[in-house]
């Protein structure tokens, strides 16, 4: 899957996250989280896992997290990727 255009998924509500994806030459993942201190590495790992599963090797992924659990992270990232996927 390739990120071909800007896309977004998720909400600002508690226990959710908002994911932005946009095309870029390299893969970058920026994380903002209420639980960044404790869990940034786990959130990043989860996001990278979803990106790998979809074969995404390039793009800018920006996440603002409000303490979302793994399955929410997976669902939101997948949705953002599908919305931003090149046809």
Partner 1 sequence: MASPPAFRGARGCVTIPPMIQPLGPSERERARALVQAEGLAFDLDLDDLVGAYQGGELVAVGARRAGVLKMLAVAPAHQGGSLLGEIVTELVRLGSAAGHDAFFVFTRPAHAPSFEALGFTLLATQGRAALLEWGDGLGRWLAASRPLVRDGANGAVVVNCNPFTLGHRHLVEEAARRADTLYVFVVREDRSAFPFDVRLRLVREGTSDLANVRVLDTSRYAVSALTFPAYFLRQADDVAAIQMELDLRLFARRIAPFFQVRRRFFGTEPFCATTRAYNAAMLRLLPALGVEPVQLERLRGSGEAISASRVRAALRKGELEGLEALVPPATLRFLRSPEAGAIRARLAAGEERHA
Among 15, 24, 28, 34, binds partner 1 (CB under 8 A): 34
Among 23, 40, 49, 62, binds partner 1 (CB under 8 A): 62
Distance, CA of 55 to CA of 13 (rounded, Å): 29
Phi, psi for 35 (deg, rounded to 5):
-115, 30
Residue number with CB closer to partner 1 (25 or 55): 25
Strands (E), 1-87: 7-10, 17-22, 27-33, 59-65
Q: Can residue 11 be called a binding residue for partner 1 (CB under 8 A)?
A: yes
Among 1, 2, 4, 8, binds partner 1 (CB under 8 A): 8
């Amino acid at each position: 899957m390739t990120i071909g255009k800007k896309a977004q998924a998720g909400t600002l509500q508690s226990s959710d996250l908002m994911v932005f994806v946009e095309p870029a030459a390299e893969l970058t993942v920026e994380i903002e989280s209420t639980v960044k201190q404790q869990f940034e590495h786990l959130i990043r790992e989860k996001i990278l896992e979803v990106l790998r599963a979809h074969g995404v090797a390039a793009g800018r992924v920006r996440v603002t997290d409000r303490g979302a659990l793994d399955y929410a992270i997976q669902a939101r990232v997948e949705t953002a990727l599908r919305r931003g996927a090149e046809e």
